[in-house]
Structure 1
Amino acid sequence: MSAPAPARTRGGALSIQGLTVGYGGAPVLHGVGFDLAPGEVVALLGANGAGKTTLLRTLAGLARSTSGTVALDGQDLTTLRTEDRARRGLALVPDGQSVVAELTVDENLRLGALWRHRGAARERAIAGVYDMFEPLARRRTSAGHQLSGGERQMLALGRALVADPVLLALDEPSLGLAPLVVAHLMSTLQAAAAERGMTVLLAEQNVTSALSIADRGVVLDLGRVVADAPATALAADETLRHAYLGF
């Protein structure tokens, strides 16, 4: 078992510069660059194929860039392994919810806390998730495959939060969920970010929900940044909404 990561001060400043990423020689991202301030919630928007998932996978070290850099709180992450990025405070909730189906709710949460907490600190972190998501508290001994879609998404988010990240990246957390469940997840995410001073990068096709909790929006189109503006300005820009966001 790995030793606990060293203690960190809160941060979460993310700098993406000139990021180019491709699969099989074909670029998916073309020189993407933008920054996130500590504690900022940024919605990453765009149609299917815009490059949102590729960008998040690259931040987490699951895809490799051919050029450009990624830095978190001034530390260059570009060549680090996924687990080393996690130890520095970056957490990814991928599309598909990342729940281990064979493990119980409680075991999934303990797995999330593995690198960050031990003993009483771990128990407090897990208890905090149960306070945040009451349905999980009632189902703590249920296996992941026994949960509803909404409960699995709560668990995926909770498992990321027990690691106490400074930067949380989420890929389409609302996908396939009922509107009331989406509203609850978004409000909980917004509250958690504010309470923890956590930076959030939220990739979503549910544009209205994402912009409702975001400070700012970054719009991708065919692997390029085409807009970067306050959330309220993006929501009010009818031309941009029709051109890139589908509403």
Structure 2
Amino acid sequence: MNGALSFHDLTVGYGGEPVLHHVTFALEPGEIVALLGANGAGKTTLLRTLAGFVRPRSGTIRLDGDDLARLSPEDRARRGIAQVPEGRSVVAELTVDENLRLGSLWRHRGRARDVAVAEVYELFEPLARRRASDGHQLSGGERQMLALGRALVSRPRVLTLDEPSLGLAPLVVAQLMATLRDAAARDGMTVLLAEQNITSALSIAGRGVVLDLGRVVADAAASALADDTALRHAYLGF
């Protein structure tokens, strides 16, 4: 089901000086990698480039060895790349159930869609209780659960998340991270998690990649990054 994802010599910009410089690293099938760095490091730009919303100036992104350069965002979604952007992106006017079914638009139909939605309700019991509620009626934690659930319902091969813990209570963050870890282990899903909550990210990731001003400055096991005091102080702020 799932394949390897790789970035090779990727340079990306918005018209002026590049935001990403020659970024190279890879993710194995089923691996969770924490993408770390301060604001402005280039994390969001990398995720948007993977999703197809930004075109690189040079370099490649490959899934199972296939270059994604010519694929639209919709085609990348059909290939199994799902994104949870920063800001708990849900459709406020739609119900929880409608949001989830919308999430399966590019990947599932009929019975397969029903099964995928039921699996999300098993993962997130609060959503099951509020399936008829509109998105604007949900709490911040529930909206983030819905944003993650809407991505998971497509049963992605690759899932990216941009600051999913932002503004959430520690208990909700812990629940979201545990759910993400369990879903990745169950489905063999590859996960790229951009997070400023370093401790939470490294608690579920096997590896961490650290960006600084658009360049990869570290790529190591999560435990090694957590124990590297000099690197944490220099690039991660703790």
TM-score > 0.5 by shorter chain: yes
Question: TM-score if structure 1 supplies the norm length?
Answer: 0.95
In 2, distance between residues paired with 1:200 and 1:97? 18
Q: CA RMSD in A?
A: 0.7
Q: Which residue of 2 aligns with 1:176?
A: 167
**Count of aligned pairs between the two proteins:** 238
Aligned-pair CA distance for 1:84: 0.5
Aligned-pair CA distance for 1:75: 1.3
95-104 vs 234-243, which moves further: 95-104
Aligned-pair CA distance for 1:138: 0.6
Give identity over the alignment, percent. 77
Q: Which residue of 2 aligns with 1:88?
A: 79
Question: TM-score if structure 2 supplies the norm length?
Answer: 0.99
| Structure 2 residue 139 is matched with structure 1 residue 135 | no
| Matching residue's letter, 2:81 | L
Q: Which residue of 2 aligns with 1:32?
A: 23
In 2, distance between residues paired with 1:38 and 1:195? 12
> SS state of the match for residue 220, structure 2?
strand
Q: Which residue of 1 aligns with 2:196?
A: 205
CA contact 2:34–2:202 (8 Å) conserved in 1 = yes
In 1, distance between residues paired with 2:130 and 2:8? 43
| Matching residue's letter, 2:203 | S
In 2, distance between residues paired with 1:93 and 1:12? 19
Aligned-pair CA distance for 1:189: 0.2
47-56 vs 17-26, which moves further: 17-26
In 2, distance between residues paired with 1:55 and 1:117? 27
CA contact 2:80–2:107 (8 Å) conserved in 1 = no
Q: Which residue of 2 aligns with 1:241?
A: 232
Alignment counterpart, residue 11 of structure 1, candidates 2, 8, 13: 2
In 2, distance between residues paired with 1:192 and 1:166? 11
For structure 1, which runs of at least 5 residues remain unmatched after alignment? 1-9
For structure 2, which runs of at least 5 residues remain unmatched after alignment? none
Q: Which residue of 2 aligns with 1:151?
A: 142
Q: Which residue of 1 aligns with 2:216?
A: 225
